[in-house]
Amino acid sequence: MEKMKVLDLFSGIGGFSLGLERAGMETISFCEIDKKAQLVLKKHWPNVPIFEDVSTLKGDEIGPVDVICGGFPCQDISTAGKGEGLSGSRSGLWYEFHRLINEIRPKYAIIENVSALRPRGLEQVIKTLFEIG
């Protein structure tokens, strides 16, 4: 049986990919802007490409993907932040995540964020996902 292919966005040091690979999936690309996190990814996944900027990544650069996973930035959503929600510059990267889901059309999307997303943007996340089917 062929393994499900994963695109890991906002990868950090690869926590999602580690778990998904242990469940039998294969990470085919990462997208992570932090240079130190990239070093960790390169050490553990030396043959997996790392794209640096989610805002410039295009779906046709990736190829077929079964799963897109990621925890988009929470700083504008968290109760410790200023409460800008999805209109903030960091948490607003949700719209890039959404764009890639729409461009790539995976079977599954695994989306992670803090619990404060519920009052500060979850409705918008669900609405925009519904709009693209």
Picking from 102, 104, 24, the residue whose alpha carbon sits closest to that of residue 63 is 104
Instruction: Indicate if 69 belongs to the active site.
Output: no
Q: What are phi and psi of 91, to 5 degrees?
A: -70, -20
Contact between residue 42 and residue 22 where contact means Cβ atoms under 8 Å apart: no
The candidate with the shortest Cα–Cα distance to 70, out of 121, 33, 24, is: 33
Annotated catalytic residue, options 54, 74, 93, 117: 74
Residues with catalytic annotation? 74
